[in-house]
Amino acid sequence: MAKFEQKLTEMLRPAVEEVGKELLGIEFISAGNHSVLRLFIDHENGINVDDCAEVSRQVSAILDVEDPISTEYNLEVSSPGLDRPLFEKAHFEAVIGETIEVRLSMPLNGRRKFKGLLEAIENDTLIVTVDGQDYELVLTNVDKANLVPNFTK
């Protein structure tokens, strides 16, 4: 996770938790006047539109006061969905044995994208099997990761 997104996560997590939800992570997509700040929230009973609206109101107040983003942006609050994003080590640990997609910040053996079975996590390294070959992906080099939905379960 980028330092800026980490800073925003630390700033907004208490507000999300105050309304009884979990902040899974944040994505900031910088695109000039069309930038997007996306928060992924979850709850043991699931997330609905009212939950997203409530969290949006809560974090908007903080963002208005703190003003951490100097450009125009749209705020989106979302459930993680079937292809849930994976931000933290605990998120990866919860899906060991599942198929994930990973995009690295810096290439490994000339490759940045990996889609395969998450076999294990050793220290801060993901062991992902892609086409029968194991790759060791360091968590600090993960730019983006998602669970790949399995519709056969």
Confidence of residue 1 (pLDDT cuts 50, 70, 90): low
Could you tell me the pTM of the whole model?
Answer: 0.86
Residue whose entry in the numeric block shows the structure tokens 């029968």: 132
Assess if residue 95 is contained within a domain: yes
- What is the rounded CA–CA span in Å between residue 97 and residue 26? 25
Alpha-carbon separation of residue 94 from 9, 59, 112, 121 (angstroms):
20, 27, 23, 11
Q: Are residues 42 and 102 in the same domain?
A: no
Domain residues for the domain of 131 are 89-147
Confidence of residue 83 (pLDDT cuts 50, 70, 90): very high
Assess if residue 83 is contained within a domain: no
Mind listing the pLDDT tens digit for each residue in 23-50?
Answer: 999 999 998 888 999 999 999 999 999 9
Number of structural domains the chain divides into: 2
Question: At 11, which CATH number?
Answer: 3.30.300.70
Determine the average pLDDT of the residues in 49-54: 96
Confidence of residue 15 (pLDDT cuts 50, 70, 90): very high
DSSP-derived letter for residue 85 is B
Task: Write down which residue in 25, 59, 78 finishes a domain.
Answer: 78
Task: Write down which residue in 78, 112, 132 finishes a domain.
Answer: 78
Task: Write down which residue in 46, 78, 110 finishes a domain.
Answer: 78
Assess if residue 152 is contained within a domain: no
CB 21 within 8 A of CB 41: yes
Assess if residue 64 is contained within a domain: yes
- Specify burial of residue 77 (Cβ count, 10 A radius: 0-12, 13-18, 19+): buried
